[in-house]
Amino acid sequence: MKQNEERGTGSLLRPLKTIGFVLRIPQTLRYPFEPKEPAPRYRGFHLNDWEKCTGCGNCAEICPNQAINMVEIAEIQPKPGMKNERPQLDYGRCCFCGLCVDICPAGSLRLSRDYFHIHFDPKTFVFVPQDDKTDHEHFYPIEQYSIFKASLTHRRQDYEGFSPDLNFALFDPQRVPMKEVEPDKRVLSFVEQVLGYDREEARAEASRCLECKLCEEACPAHMKISDYIKAIYEDQPAEALRQIFEDNPIPSICGRVCMKHCEKACSLSIRGEPLAIRWLKRYVADSITDYQVALEQKTAEPSGKKVAVIGAGPSGLSVAYFLSLKGHKVVVFDSLPGGGGTLRVGPPLYRLPLEAIDKDVDYIASLGVEFRFNTTVGKDVLFEDILKGYDAVFVGVGTRVSRSTKVTNSDRAYLALPFLEQNKLGKPVKVGKEVIVIGGGNVAIDVARVALRLQHIQYPNEAVVTKVVSLEDWDEMPATKEEIEDAKAEGIQFNPGWGPKEIKVADGEVRGLLCMKVKAVFDEAGRFNPTFYEDELMFLEGDMVIEAIGQRADFSFIPQQILEKLEFTAWGKVKVDENGMTTIPGIFAGGDIVNLNLDAVTAIADAKVAAEGIDKWLRRKTT
């Protein structure tokens, strides 16, 4: 009770203590005349940078309240790796948690510090956000901004709140590193450089996929990438293989040498490393020893129709696969001793071993496709005879003739394709100690890296060097970045921005290459038309020159009177219709002789179209 009395004591003057509070500064804000500034991290209305946004839809996918819908915006042109959809917010549902910000792979979606919206029309709460970069109408500079008008259509400029931070992103921007043979070891032989993912690595890498499917739009063959990546993540490689074979019958090849348009479109690549889609495809192909057991594919009832395929490259193999599934009898002709076409003789062994090719080819053969290797059309069997003996013909001969620079003494230079081909067929060329490679594309890099390996094999423990001369500078070199980096790591010397002028020959021996400085590679119209500074010269010493400046197709196997009827496009490509048929009825075409991408996966895409077309053509004739 004593405590109680103490508590009760106090003088009459005690209440006067409160008078002191009169003099204190009031603690309340006279809102809205004294506005309260939200914190820099405030989670208010959304901002979306339409230029950065890819329309991937991850924000809509993660939203716990389904407040986000992807809506098509007519004024946005969809580009590869980008949809013309943008997120639409329903502020009746949004809880401003900001998960959409943390999942946004492009980093385009942010939250602002605006949080006022008062309106009689509930429809205005459904809103497609933009930011002040693209929307100049509704964002006001601070001096024109008024809190009394504040709404979704009256917002402040430069008022970003909760913004993306890669360290706290919900996706992993880093890919699982790929094990490779070290550069100093791999130059000594043709051992395969990339070792491939093991099961755990593949699953970890597959788990990064956000399933936005931008890659599937970018893939020329529109493979079901996110489905097979998901199957890998779920540790079902056989299911993944079935998904792959829907659109691509050569995964072992494509898993190694695909030009991976998909990875360029991957939304993870915007702020991090793209998903290793190609290596995951390779993992599937490698981890399954017997495709037949995993796929359990059955061909349809025999149709009684016969189709000839000229060329066992990616397009030829794919056409053969798709058509044999439909029950047609397919015979494939190729001059090489095995399948793969350009891929058999082009990509060096350290990138594409022959076993990898044969695995895919053998499976296609197991479906009943007849391969006639070592058979050159036009020589061993005549094109006219094929036309007569088969119900349809598919031509997928590729571009197999190397172009030459035609500079002085260019007859002393080797050509890229024969050089690569001889090496792959087991008859390696005797190389010099100082090799000069002309060209800046992937083939040139292949040639240089093969030459370097041959140098190390043929001159062990001696000083050897391989140099690359390209018209294009670093930034415009057509070879892929990783190829250039790998080549650099192996010690290949690059001379970008120089053009060949003359191959110097003395006493019957090649002495080197005289180069001149490039002014511009392309003309104003963007066409390939190099110009040079004639007086700025450089001499590269060397005892061997290899030209790798491009390839062209060879149609000499087609008799003149038929060739005359074959139409070509302005780009020099064979003209085909939407069914893959050329201007000659019954003759279809695909691959490098048709498309401009000049890669395997586009050839497969052509083949898919052509296979459908051929099937339609054959069935139309029967009815």
> Which residues of the shown chain bind other proteins in the complex (CB under 8 A)?
4, 7-8, 17, 27-28, 38-43, 58, 61-62, 64, 95-99, 102-103, 111, 161-162, 165, 167-172, 207-211, 230, 233
Please report how close the Cβ of residue 195 comes to other proteins at its closest, in angstroms.
25
Please report how close the Cβ of residue 204 comes to other proteins at its closest, in angstroms.
9
Residue 149's CB is within 10 A of a number of other CB atoms, namely 12
CB nearer to other proteins: pick between 64 and 80: 64
Report the C-alpha gap between 160 and 163 in whole angstroms.
7
Report the C-alpha gap between 136 and 293 in whole angstroms.
60
* CB environment 289-303: b (16+ within 10 A), e (fewer): eebeebbebeeeeeb
Please report how close the Cβ of residue 237 comes to other proteins at its closest, in angstroms.
16
Q: Report helix angle 314-325 to 354-366, nearest 10.
A: 20
Please report how close the Cβ of residue 131 comes to other proteins at its closest, in angstroms.
18
CB nearer to other proteins: pick between 43 and 86: 43
Residue 555: phi and psi, rounded to 5, are -105, 20
| Angle of CA points 542, 462, 480, to nearest 5° | 60
Residue with tokens 């038929």: 562
**Do residues 510 and 412 touch, judged by C-beta distance below 8 A?**
yes
Please report how close the Cβ of residue 104 comes to other proteins at its closest, in angstroms.
13
Report the C-alpha gap between 46 and 590 in whole angstroms.
47
CB nearer to other proteins: pick between 17 and 427: 17
Nearest in space to 403 (alpha carbons), one of 603, 553, 558, 600: 553
CB nearer to other proteins: pick between 41 and 619: 41
CB nearer to other proteins: pick between 234 and 385: 234
Report the C-alpha gap between 65 and 95 in whole angstroms.
8
Please report how close the Cβ of residue 81 comes to other proteins at its closest, in angstroms.
19
If phi > 0 it is left, if psi is from -120 to 50 it is alpha, else beta; for residue 178 that is beta
Report the C-alpha gap between 468 and 153 in whole angstroms.
58
CB nearer to other proteins: pick between 170 and 566: 170
Q: Report helix angle 225-233 to 277-287, nearest 10.
A: 60
On the 0-12 / 13-18 / 19+ scale of CB atoms within 10 A, 186 is buried
Please report how close the Cβ of residue 211 comes to other proteins at its closest, in angstroms.
6
| Angle of CA points 538, 544, 548, to nearest 5° | 80
CB nearer to other proteins: pick between 10 and 572: 10
Q: Which amino acid is at 389?
A: G
* Cα 145 from chain centre: 45
Please report how close the Cβ of residue 153 comes to other proteins at its closest, in angstroms.
23
CB nearer to other proteins: pick between 202 and 317: 202
Please report how close the Cβ of residue 12 comes to other proteins at its closest, in angstroms.
15
Strand runs labelled E in 267-391? 306-310, 329-333, 370-372
CB nearer to other proteins: pick between 3 and 623: 3
Q: How far is CA 248 from CA 220, 316, 339, in A?
A: 11, 12, 16
DSSP 8-class letter at 339: S
Please report how close the Cβ of residue 28 comes to other proteins at its closest, in angstroms.
8
Kindly calculate the radius of gyration of the chain based on its CA atoms and give it in whole angstroms: 32
CB nearer to other proteins: pick between 96 and 116: 96
CB nearer to other proteins: pick between 40 and 177: 40
Sign, Cα dihedral of 152, 154, 160, 161? negative
Please report how close the Cβ of residue 14 comes to other proteins at its closest, in angstroms.
9
Report the C-alpha gap between 230 and 199 in whole angstroms.
14
Please report how close the Cβ of residue 127 comes to other proteins at its closest, in angstroms.
20
CB nearer to other proteins: pick between 212 and 545: 212
Sign, Cα dihedral of 108, 110, 113, 117? positive
Please report how close the Cβ of residue 284 comes to other proteins at its closest, in angstroms.
17
CB nearer to other proteins: pick between 233 and 333: 233
**Do residues 31 and 52 touch, judged by C-beta distance below 8 A?**
no
Q: ω into residue 32 within 30 of 0, thus cis? A: yes
**Do residues 306 and 346 touch, judged by C-beta distance below 8 A?**
no
